[in-house]
Amino acid sequence: MKTQVSVYEPCRGIVPLRARLENWMVTLLEEPKLVHDLLDKHGAPLNIQSDAPFRGNIADLIGCVGEFDLPFLPMFARKANKCLTYVDAARDINIGIDTASHAEVVQCLDRGLPGDRIVCTAAVKDQDLMSLCVANGVTIILDNLDEITLLEEVVQYQDRPVSVGLRLNGFEREGQPLYSRFGLPLRKIPDIATRLSQTPQITLDGLHFHLNGYSSADRIAAIAQTLPVITALRHSIQRDFFLDIGGGIPMNYLDDPAQWDTWKSELDAALGGTREPITQHNVGLGRTVDPDGAKGSIDSYPVAQGVVQTDWMREILNATDGGKTIANRLRDAKVSLRCEPGRSVLDGCGMTLARVAFCKTDSAGVPVIGVQMNRTQSRSGFSEFALDPLMVPGPEPRGDPVEGYLAGTYCTESEWLTRRKMVFPAGVRPGDIMVFPNTAGYLMHFLESRSHQFPLAKNVFLQRDGTATLDAIDTD
């Protein structure tokens, strides 16, 4: 949707990166008293969320794959957001959940998810986690030979059947290897399958990969290279079999995606000295300008991408391999498709809010706006939040325009909520509320920390009747 301009007026980047907002976000932000009341009641920072976009995004994905007449089970990547409301939603709409820790498995089981709709892909699995999964029928994705050995030991004591998948690596695209620290070499899968068949309690039910980045071409190459292995396995495995292609489904954050290219061009100009800096100390955020042009990528999620979400999935399933589409080849192999979306199905689900505590100048005379949150509360694995915050003004009279930088609560020189310069046309004052939009997917929880003993942000969900309910993760 194209959001009305008034929501964006109090704050923007000096070169704008305007967020795409859901209707529920706009409705809330247009009621400043309600926003201030929520922070008065629950404290700051505060994550305000809605599960309605989550349900809609999942429905769109299921509908997309359904066009290809493929058996399909999306597994929500729980690590993307810790709130139990999304676990309940996944349970109610009958999809699966991808878990990455003992606590995540326990919480899903406690909320009524059956074990056969939970998959454990934890990067490190100890005996307690393996035992929990075996005891409750959770599918385990095995990453390495040591995990296989551990599982073989665990099932001797539990004597229960366990469903497993094997995580793969060793893919190539156009002759170049696709690096991953995870997984077992593709060429060794037949031998590993034979080994697993020697333990009666272990059932190999599928193969899995998760590739870094967001390239559909990488996924197409990986599927094409996996299918011959599946075909070979199917001679001895007649039961249902899945191929899980992991996550990395891209999405757009911007109201106008063209702003991303404009912003990068302006950054290059600033780095090259042909315009005033648009970042603190003119930092390149991973980008440098050499005599022959700009080099390097911005250390941020690519907030504007060409093919996203369901169109990205269609691109993969419509791709041809061996004279047939990927969808047809999967169907011919009698394979059900799985994936593990996180960020993309949480698109539009949340915002992180915190109050301005002060406005001062640093030793160079540059305005610094102190905000009551730390940088881990609006970050994933990238160093920059490349999306303009919004601002809900307090009741105090407005002042003169301010251009400056947002600082967080940690006592380090590097504690900046964004290194991009922000503009406040009518000023900024203590008590104003900064709003970081669309943070539900990875940004609000993935790296959150409470150094200095600051409390973590609470999580509230807006209900259809307009009330706000604290998520069970903050009350259990």
User: What pLDDT, in 10s, does the model give residues 129-154?
Assistant: 999 999 999 999 999 999 999 999 99
309-to-57, 138, 465 alpha-carbon distances in Å = 9, 27, 29
Confidence of residue 158 (pLDDT cuts 50, 70, 90): confident
pLDDT over threshold 80, residue 5: no
pLDDT over threshold 70, residue 418: yes
pLDDT over threshold 80, residue 291: no
Q: Burial-class residue 468 by CB neighbours within 10 Å (0-12, 13-18, 19+).
A: middle
Higher pLDDT, 15 or 240: 15
**How many CB atoms within 10 Å of residue 114?**
13
356-to-237, 407, 434 alpha-carbon distances in Å = 60, 10, 7
Segment 254-276 shows an average pLDDT of 95
Read off the DSSP letter of residue 143: -
Residue type, 25: M
Which ranges of 333-446 would DSSP assign to H, the alpha helix? none
* Strand partners for 459: 47
Taking alpha carbons only, the member of 459, 399, 408 closest to residue 429 is 399
Sequence ranges of the domains in the chain: 5-50+348-474, 52-250+305-342, 258-295
pLDDT over threshold 60, residue 80: yes
Taking alpha carbons only, the member of 167, 171, 193, 192 closest to residue 182 is 167
Residues 6+ apart with CB under 8 A from 293: none
| Dihedral class, residue 237 (left if φ above 0, else alpha if ψ from -120 to 50, else beta) | beta
pLDDT over threshold 90, residue 75: yes
Q: What is the pLDDT of residue 295?
A: 83
Q: What is the pLDDT of residue 292?
A: 77
| Whole-angstrom distance, CA of residue 354 vs CA of residue 35 | 10
pLDDT over threshold 70, residue 1: no
Taking alpha carbons only, the member of 81, 60, 241 closest to residue 97 is 81
Residue type, 35: V
Residues 6+ apart with CB under 8 A from 383: 285, 286, 299, 300
pLDDT over threshold 70, residue 268: yes
Q: What is the pLDDT of residue 81?
A: 98
Q: Give the SS3 label for residue 421.
A: coil
The least confident of 16-25, 56-65, 445-454 is 445-454
234-to-131, 147, 166, 204, 207 alpha-carbon distances in Å = 28, 24, 15, 11, 12
Fold for 5-50+348-474, please state it.
Lyase, Ornithine Decarboxylase; Chain A, domain 1 (2.40.37)
Q: What is the pLDDT of residue 238?
A: 78
Return the CATH number of 52-250+305-342, one of 3.40.50.11720, 3.40.50.300, 3.40.50.2300, 3.20.20.10.
Answer: 3.20.20.10
pLDDT over threshold 80, residue 4: no
| Whole-angstrom distance, CA of residue 314 vs CA of residue 203 | 31
Q: What is the pLDDT of residue 3?
A: 44
The least confident of 289-303, 351-365, 424-438 is 289-303
| Dihedral class, residue 12 (left if φ above 0, else alpha if ψ from -120 to 50, else beta) | beta
Q: What is the pLDDT of residue 280?
A: 95
Q: What is the pLDDT of residue 191?
A: 96
Which ranges of 140-283 would DSSP assign to H, the alpha helix? 145-158, 189-197, 216-234, 258-271
| Whole-angstrom distance, CA of residue 422 vs CA of residue 432 | 15
Residues of the chain with pLDDT > 70, as a percent, come to 99
pLDDT over threshold 50, residue 2: no
pTM of the model: 0.95
